[in-house]
Amino acid sequence: MKQNIRRPTDAELTILHVLWDKGPTTVREVYKILNSGKEVGYTTVLKLMQIMTEKGLVERDENCRPQIYRPCLPREQTERQLIKDLVDRAFGGSAKRLVMQALEVKKASPNELAQIEKLLNKLERGEK
């Protein structure tokens, strides 16, 4: 049976980025950070974070007021889940096709290419 992936929407992913960068925080703090970039309503942020709690993307500490929210998964684990889902759905499970398309669409800097080469060498040696 395929594992149920909790795939965040674009708006939910934006909130997750705030929580990963800032750490556990309140809806009001998330709202303030998001509102500094573009106008967004407080009730919209609140509702999104309530939905994210139901979906298991964030958890809420109800023992304090105001309630504190934190992501359920670290950034890296969420990124891996999203990439795995994308590879499976869009690239037929081929990591090679994903990487080739990614490098065609967005050119990598020399530093990024060096990091990619280092990772490939590491994987070739069987290291994690």
Chain centroid offset of residue 88 CA: 17
Provide the pLDDT for residue 4.
Answer: 57
Q: What is the pTM of this model?
A: 0.81
- 70, two tokens: 């934190």
3-state secondary structure of 2: coil
Provide the pLDDT for residue 87.
Answer: 94
CATH number belonging to domain 10-71: 1.10.10.10
Q: Write out the chain's pLDDT in tens, 128 residues.
A: 344 567 899 999 999 999 999 999 999 999 999 998 788 999 999 999 999 999 999 999 989 899 999 999 999 999 999 999 999 999 999 988 998 999 999 989 999 999 999 988 998 888 87
Q: Where are the domains of the chain?
A: 10-71, 75-124
